[in-house]
Structure 1
Amino acid sequence: MPATQSQRASVIIPASASNDLAAASSIRGLVSKYAQSQLRLKKPTTVFVGGTGQEVLTEADWKTNVKSDVILLISAGEEHIGANKEPNGHGAGNHFAEVQVVEASSLANIDNSLQQDNVVLLVHSGSQGLGGNILKKCMTETRTSFGEGSADAIGYMEEHNQACIEMIAVAKTALKKCRMIDIWHNNVERIAWPPSELWSAGKYASSIYNIVPCDCVYIHRKGAAPTYDPKIQLPLSLLPLPGSRGTPTLILQPTFSTSNAWGLKNGLSLAHGAGCAMSRAKALSASAQKYKGQNILEPRLADLQGTWVICDEKGLVFEEAPDAYKDVQAVSQDLVDADAAQVVGWCRSRISYKVRNETC
């Protein structure tokens, strides 16, 4: 019963368990409780069948799909907000919003760029279930892939791309003229291939729509950020590389040169964060012990300009403690060594917002 790639557990369903969702001994209830206790998922929301991606919703679904050795994927992410609703938060999981201050920047002479002492809002947001909802509409137990150029593939990509455009539009409208850095990740892009010197010359956009299908590939990013603007197909001048709560967010400038084959070697992508160094279960256990009796929601006395954390879920505070993540400096150095990017500055968080348990 995988919750994430690092959280797995086996569960034995007794013969007396019921498919009836309302029953006290329902299989759904048993799976949910087991996910909470063994995988430390606070609120399991959706269940999918491994291999097919089918969501298990009805009594018939549970009766048909729950068999010996079945793999269930348990999600504690966001439920779909609905087509006529707007997002109301940054989503679940490791998403966050931070008010940061630029402490160093080598871009002082570039107009409209990040300058030292600028205040920025760094938002890492999910789609609140919209992306998963689009995928589930297109996939079935027997249909798990589409042919290039088929009506199904075209329909999925059109809905996928429109969702990305609308989510960005909602965010920018809400923030209006605030300075904002987007972490664009977890998406599919159809892109001309291979990249060439045209990227650095700023001429790629004029030719990208005039190429035959065999000159294109699909890039599926999962936790990675593109090094170009997907809307206008031109290289980005800046990308954030967040560390962990209380550590710097590095400002990267993607590199396009012969040494990285104009971005081919790194798949026209960069890391979109330092990444976890341990599972959430291990981080929760280790951090709870290490910081026992300490208030890690406030800056330490030795660092009065540190980070104030707004998070009403105590377990989540421990799961995402700085110790649970890789060293962002080491991650950035790997990118520099691969000639995929250069570090042009950094920001430091003053306020980190996770979740508030508020009711109206």
Structure 2
Amino acid sequence: MYSVMERGSAWTIEEGYGFAEDLEVTEEGGCLAGANPATVSETAVRRGMKQLGSLGSGNHFCEVQKVEHIYDQEAAAALGIERVGQVVVTIHCGSRGFGHQIAEDYVKLAEAKQKDFGFNLVDRQLSCLPLQSEEGKAYLSAMACGANFAWANRQLLMHGVRQSFASVFGRKARAREVPLVYDVCHNIAKMEEYEINGQAQRVCVHRKGATRAFPAGHPELPEKYRQVGQPVLIPGDMGRYSFVLVGAQGSMEQSFGSCCHGAGRRQSRTTAKKSMSSKDLLNQLDARGVTVRVHSKNLLTEEAPQAYKDAQQVVNVVHNAGLAKLVARLKPVIVVKG
């Protein structure tokens, strides 16, 4: 567990759960610097040990999808998306209870320290720590442990996907046959450099419900994507579609190299659960050609398609605003939820 916190995806590769080329197309190479397990509570460690390699519930998912439409043939080819009808798999999950516990621990610490730092906040969710304080530095270190756990977790799940496909088709799993397009963070704070008022400045970019969207030519991109931009993955809902985009220059000028992480909800989970039964939802999805496997059917209606905004409209705004460019639309075929 401590190796996972410190080394992220690299640990999983060394243990045989993936291939070296996976790290080349993972943000930060699957390991955020500065992770120190000493800043993480034993409670968080215990929770993480039980959940490493698991998907989780809520809006987390593993979807087998097919390419429904290609908007940009050149960019799609660079990402390995070759044709309409091609099968792809999208995995959305994070650091599970491990990351949640880290957040809880440091929110409590921040609450206790508000007066010491001269803050007077009305909502505990706004609790904060100065970056240069000892407590702030400890949080960034613990958060890096959480990010590394999340990368390792997704790498393990991807290994399971590869093994499943290999089993079905009766062959050994190879990276080139089920290649990783990109693994990108969401809900993370990172130190990055931007031009602000004509001067280069290093700032802390907090992406909450957002992902990185660096444009073509950015030095932090892998060579294979340097000409087209960073892959940007925007899930929609399990009944309609999700999208693949690439970062555009507008993101550097308007949103600190960032783009939305999803379409966003239009109904609360409580409202969605009241809107229809799980049986009706399963029938609705089946009529659309979508097969669902879920741990608890009672929670399924929280993620009903009608609970979310239309992702097509959202990505059109993103594209037209110049934050990212549309590459492909993906249609769900099989949905697995924890």
Q: In structure 2, how many angstroms separate the alpha carbons of the residues matched to 1:174 and 1:292? A: 28
**RMSD value over aligned CA atoms?**
3.3
Deviation at 1:194, TM superposition (A): 2.6
Please say which of residues 327-336 and 262-271 is displaced more in the overlay.
Answer: 262-271
Q: In structure 1, how many angstroms separate the alpha carbons of the residues matched to 2:50 and 2:281? A: 40
Q: In structure 2, how many angstroms separate the alpha carbons of the residues matched to 1:315 and 1:162? A: 32
Deviation at 1:308, TM superposition (A): 0.5
Deviation at 1:121, TM superposition (A): 1.7
Q: 1:353 to 1:294 in 2, by over 3 A?
A: closer
Asked if the contact 1:297–1:310 (Cα under 8 Å) also holds between the matched residues in 2, the reply is: no
Work out whether 1:146 is the aligned partner of 2:129: yes
Aligned to 2:93: 125
Aligned to 2:3: none
Work out whether 1:182 is the aligned partner of 2:171: no
Work out whether 1:113 is the aligned partner of 2:100: no
Deviation at 1:216, TM superposition (A): 1.6
Asked if the contact 1:102–1:115 (Cα under 8 Å) also holds between the matched residues in 2, the reply is: no
Please say which of residues 346-355 and 146-155 is displaced more in the overlay.
Answer: 146-155
Aligned to 2:286: 299
Kindly report which structure 2 residues correspond to 1:281-360, keeping only aligned pairs within 5 A, or say none: 281-288=270-277, 295-296=282-283, 299-300=286-287, 303=288, 306-355=289-338
Q: In structure 1, how many angstroms separate the alpha carbons of the residues matched to 2:57 and 2:129? A: 29
Aligned to 2:59: 94
Deviation at 1:351, TM superposition (A): 0.5
The one of 134, 141, 144 aligned to 2:102:
134
Work out whether 1:250 is the aligned partner of 2:237: no
The one-letter code sitting in structure 2 at the alignment partner of 1:97 is: C
Asked if the contact 1:120–1:179 (Cα under 8 Å) also holds between the matched residues in 2, the reply is: no
Identical-residue share of aligned pairs (%): 26
The one-letter code sitting in structure 2 at the alignment partner of 1:114 is: I
Deviation at 1:147, TM superposition (A): 2.9
Q: In structure 2, how many angstroms separate the alpha carbons of the residues matched to 1:265 and 1:319? A: 33
Q: 1:183 to 1:322 in 2, by over 3 A?
A: farther
Please say which of residues 267-276 and 138-147 is displaced more in the overlay.
Answer: 138-147
| Structure 1 runs not aligned, ≥5 long | 1-78, 198-210, 356-360
Q: 1:91 to 1:194 in 2, by over 3 A?
A: farther
Q: In structure 2, how many angstroms separate the alpha carbons of the residues matched to 1:307 and 1:336? A: 27
Q: Deviations over 1:23-52 (max 9, x none)?
A: xxxxxxxxxxxxxxxxxxxxxxxxxxxxxx
| Structure 2 runs not aligned, ≥5 long | 1-43, 114-126, 160-174
Q: In structure 2, how many angstroms separate the alpha carbons of the residues matched to 1:112 and 1:336? A: 18
Q: In structure 2, how many angstroms separate the alpha carbons of the residues matched to 1:250 and 1:85? A: 32
The one-letter code sitting in structure 2 at the alignment partner of 1:151 is: E
Q: 1:93 to 1:183 in 2, by over 3 A?
A: farther
Q: In structure 2, how many angstroms separate the alpha carbons of the residues matched to 1:237 and 1:243? A: 19
The one-letter code sitting in structure 1 at the alignment partner of 2:263 is: A
Please say which of residues 93-102 and 234-243 is displaced more in the overlay.
Answer: 234-243
Aligned to 1:223: 209
Q: 3-state DSSP class of the match of 1:299?
A: helix
Q: 1:314 to 1:175 in 2, by over 3 A?
A: closer
Asked if the contact 1:310–1:354 (Cα under 8 Å) also holds between the matched residues in 2, the reply is: yes
Relative contact order, CA 8 A, sep 6+: which one is greater? 2
Deviation at 1:99, TM superposition (A): 0.9
Q: 3-state DSSP class of the match of 1:126?
A: coil
Aligned to 1:264: 253
Aligned to 2:193: 192
Q: Deviations over 1:132-157 (max 9, x none)?
A: 32234444232253333333322322
Deviation at 1:284, TM superposition (A): 1.6
Q: In structure 1, how many angstroms separate the alpha carbons of the residues matched to 2:302 and 2:270? A: 7
Q: 3-state DSSP class of the match of 1:182?
A: coil
Q: 3-state DSSP class of the match of 1:270?
A: strand
**Matched positions, count:** 252
Q: 3-state DSSP class of the match of 1:310?
A: strand
Q: Deviations over 1:320-350 (max 9, x none)?
A: 2211111111101111221112211111111
Asked if the contact 1:97–1:354 (Cα under 8 Å) also holds between the matched residues in 2, the reply is: yes
Q: In structure 1, how many angstroms separate the alpha carbons of the residues matched to 2:190 and 2:281? A: 45
What is the TM-score with the length of structure 2 in the denominator? 0.64
Q: 3-state DSSP class of the match of 2:132?
A: coil
Aligned to 2:24: none
The one-letter code sitting in structure 1 at the alignment partner of 2:81 is: L
Kindly report which structure 2 residues correspond to 1:40-59, keeping only aligned pairs within 5 A, or say none: none
The one-letter code sitting in structure 2 at the alignment partner of 1:82 is: R
Deviation at 1:170, TM superposition (A): 3.9
Asked if the contact 1:287–1:319 (Cα under 8 Å) also holds between the matched residues in 2, the reply is: no
